[in-house]
Amino acid sequence: MGHSFGGSTALTAAHRRPHMPLCVVAHEPAVDWMPSDSRQALFLKEQIIGNESGEEKKDKNMKQKGHPQSIHDVNMLFLYSHEWNGYGWGCIKELKELRQIGKLGPANGLSDVGVIDEAFHQEFSDSCSLTPLWLGRATKANGKRNPLDTSEEISTRTHSFIESARRSSSLLSTED
């Protein structure tokens, strides 16, 4: 889980070690600044992993044992502010399209792309919650909403996604 560059870091870690995370939560990830291999893996469902060596065999064995080998084998939640949505930053349009055509995350999975209305990028951090409301509005650090309400919505949506991913994971493990 991460915000901005932290979101990109979480996605990169999930790409490079897809067998490790249960899910990925990226709040306004700076996708344009991700390493090329991770960014390409996010936007290309099929990826070539390894070669004809033991690495490819290891990947096939992990897949057969139920370990994911692609970032798209992991459920992902992307949350954006209306500010970034309006500018099209963080590849939100492309991610929404992938979600719409069923190519974001596992088939029939929980992956989603959402927008927090009337929110700004900096409201995803705690700095807006700690800044007096009058000062935040005067400096345009936050929007019309109270940043505490924005934080609550981000927290609720994130928590709901993680709990759904946990339930889904436990259902899958009991089916084995």
Q: pLDDT 10s digit of each residue in the chain, 176 long?
A: 999 999 999 999 999 998 889 999 999 999 999 999 999 999 974 433 333 333 344 444 444 445 557 899 999 999 999 999 999 999 999 999 999 999 999 989 999 999 999 999 999 988 888 889 999 889 988 888 999 999 999 999 999 999 999 998 877 666 65
The whole-number pLDDT of residue 44 equals 75
Q: What pLDDT does residue 156 have?
A: 98
- How far is residue 32 from each of residues 61, 119, 123, measured CA to CA in Å? 33, 21, 20
> What pTM, to 2 d.p., does this model score?
0.84
Non-local (6+) Cβ contacts of 69 within 8 A are 18, 19, 49, 59, 62, 63
Contact 111, 99 (CB under 8 A): yes
Beta bridge partners of 78: 26, 113
How does DSSP classify residue 68?
Answer: -
Whole-number Å distance between alpha carbons of 27 and 3: 4
Output the pLDDT for position 68: 56
pLDDT of residue 66: 53
Those residues with Cβ within 8 angstroms of residue 105's Cβ, 6 or more apart along the chain or in another chain: 72, 73, 74, 75, 76, 111
Q: 127 phi and psi, to 5 degrees? A: -60, -35
Output 107-110 pairs: Cβ under 8 A, ≥24 positions apart.
109/75, 109/168, 110/23, 110/75, 110/77, 110/161, 110/164, 110/165, 110/168
